[in-house]
Amino acid sequence: MSGDSDFDFLLVGSGVAAATVAMRLLARDPRTSILMLEAGDRIPSRDRGLWWDYVTNNKLPYDYTYDHDNPDNDTSGSGQSSIGNVRFEMHKSRITAMGGTTMHWGGWSLRMKPEDFVLCTNTGKGGDWTFSYDELEPYYCQAEDILSVSGGDEEGGAPRSQPYGQPAYPWQSADEDLKNAFDKSQLVSGRMPLARYRRCMTTGTCRYCPVGARFSAQYLVEDLENGAYPNFVVRTGITVTGLDMDGKRRVSGVSYLDRHQGNAPGKATAKTVIVCAGAFESPKLLLRSRTDGHENGIGNNNDLVGRFLVSHSFLSIKASKPTNKDRVASEFGFPTLMSRSYDTEEWQPKGKIFLFRNQNTPKVKWEHMMHAGKTRAEMDAIATGKMEVGLSAFYEEFGCKNNRLTLNTNGRTDQFNLPLQTISFSRDKQVKDNAGCLLNEMAGIMNNLDGYTIVDDSAKLEGAAGYHASGTCRMADSPENGVTDGNQRVYGTDNLYICSNAVFPSIGAVNPTLTLTAVALRLADHLGACTTAPQGDEA
């Protein structure tokens, strides 16, 4: 290994997937040489000045990394473009920085359920995983340890072989009315599993934790940097622009631009390359890498790269009552009450939903009232006045071939030299009808809130957004059905892997990060078990 050459592994990206793979490989052999390339910067963490800026001005040190949406859906415009019958919002849905999107995630850490791995078999929609829940279950346990997940007994949740390492966060007083409505509706109430270290002080400022109590992959990467791993190298400001091939099947490394050195071009080589760049940049990197034998991009001989884009839709409804005599207010910055009663095989054909109390209700921003000139007496009256509770849900959508991302044809790049994209995303009538049916179910629950009335026009199916995006390089049992095999190796290559939500053939109704961590552990074990560079096995 010298300079950027001859590493055992080259990881594109530094989010939870890359960090977990690196951690596992280094645990197996501390001498393993790993080069981690991150297009974004190293955002200062646990900085009290930055935290105060967030508390007082709602400004985050990574705001500048967010995508700029193109409001006109103009495919030649300056921002990310969205076409199709549903606008697809990218702004604030991901972070380009060391640690990736875990820099701002909420830490909700739920397992998918066994039926999610056989979605296509069960419903004829979306895709099946190439392995079962049972195979991933031990990795889920380890992933929960890595993310430091707090959770409790979860009746109706995914089966588990080990208890959580930390006790669940308690329900809050603000959960009480909705919990009673869940009971009346015969739903099982659960406690949200959350990735928080024991030092959590429930500041509610989880998007920038002042004490580093919410798991972030940045901490994991920095722990590895500070560990006894002489051959582990992380570089930020490095935008990988293409995968370099040595022959038709072997990837020799990557080409990049070094943003911190005036966009100086460079190359890095490795025996194995793992693209851990999320559900948007991973397929884009494959599409950009056009070489002999891969004229449409690496892994794209069947025109599947970038297709089957899935993201959670968001359902919400609110109810209110005239007084709040007990002055109930949401206490944490995250929900503690949830239910998986509609996250079941029975609901799978319609699209499962994962229910939780909207953590922003009931809540009042007292400082904003002071800013607006409200008197103390007026603020007191508001504290005991109208009270609102929201019920929200992630709604599973199924991968459709025509929901896809492509490279923006204008060739323009964003602030990190990453190519802009065009997203084509549509919902058919059945998806909308099913959402309407599920919103009716949610309204039924809200009608069981004692003393509340559903707020007019509050039942909504929100537009699509990049949160939890997946499926764009999905795994499948053949190159005709997917981009990677069951070990996440890109079809048509010997040593190129994808480790991202992009490989998920389905996403269920819950947040994907815990599953991604488990998948990354499984991949690392596969790679670590290969005593020689792995070989492809398909024709």
Partner 1 sequence: MPADFNLLERIDPSPLLGSPRQLLNSEIDGLWALFVEINSRWRLFHTRDAEIEVPDAKNLHSSWLELVTLRAQPHQYPNCLQQLPCYVEEYVNALSVIAALCSHDDSEYALDPLLAVTTQPENSRIWHARKFVVEEFMTVMIVAGGFKEFGGHNYDGFLGGSRFNEVTQIVAPLPSERGSAGTTW
Residues of the shown chain interacting with partner 1 in the complex, contacts defined by CB under 8 A: 41-44, 47-50, 52-53, 55-57, 61-64, 167, 169-170, 173, 198-205, 210, 236-237, 260, 326-329, 331-333, 364, 366-367, 370-373, 376, 379-380, 383-384, 415
Q: How far is the CB of 270 from partner 1 (least distance, A)?
A: 24
CA angle 77/238/58 to nearest 5° reads 65
* DSSP three-state, residue 41: strand
Instruction: Give 190 or 505: the residue with its C-beta nearer to partner 1.
Output: 190
Q: Which is nearer to partner 1, 172 or 341 (CB)?
A: 172
Nearer to partner 1, 335 or 492 (CB): 335
Q: Are 8 and 33 in contact (CB under 8 A)?
A: yes
Give the nearest distance from C-beta 329 to partner 1 in angstroms.
Answer: 5
CA 199 from chain centre, in angstroms, equals 24
- Is the CB of 64 or the CB of 386 nearer to partner 1? 64
Q: How far apart are CA 294 and CA 317, in angstroms?
A: 48
Q: Taking a C-beta distance cutoff of 8 angstroms, is the pair 263, 417 a contact?
A: yes
310 SS3 class: strand
Q: How far is the CB of 48 from partner 1 (least distance, A)?
A: 6
**8 Å CB contact between 287 and 300:** yes
Q: Where are the alpha helices (DSSP H) in 405-463?
A: 429-446
Q: Which DSSP letter does residue 266 get?
A: E
Comparison of 47 and 134: residue with beta carbon closer to partner 1 = 47
Please say whether the beta carbons of 474 and 503 come within 8 A. yes
Q: In terms of Cα–Cα distance, which of 10, 386, 335 is closest to 190?
A: 335
Alpha-carbon distance of 494 to 527, in angstroms, equals 12
For residues 241 and 256, is the Cβ–Cβ distance under 8 A? yes
User: CB of residue 236 vs partner 1: minimum separation in angstroms?
Assistant: 7
Residue number with CB closer to partner 1 (371 or 429): 371
Q: Which is nearer to partner 1, 237 or 253 (CB)?
A: 237
Cα(88)–Cα(168) distance, rounded to whole angstroms?
34
Q: Residue 290 Cβ, how far from partner 1 at the closest point, in Å? A: 31
State in angstroms the smallest separation of the CB of 51 from partner 1.
Answer: 9
CB of 380 to partner 1, least distance (A): 7
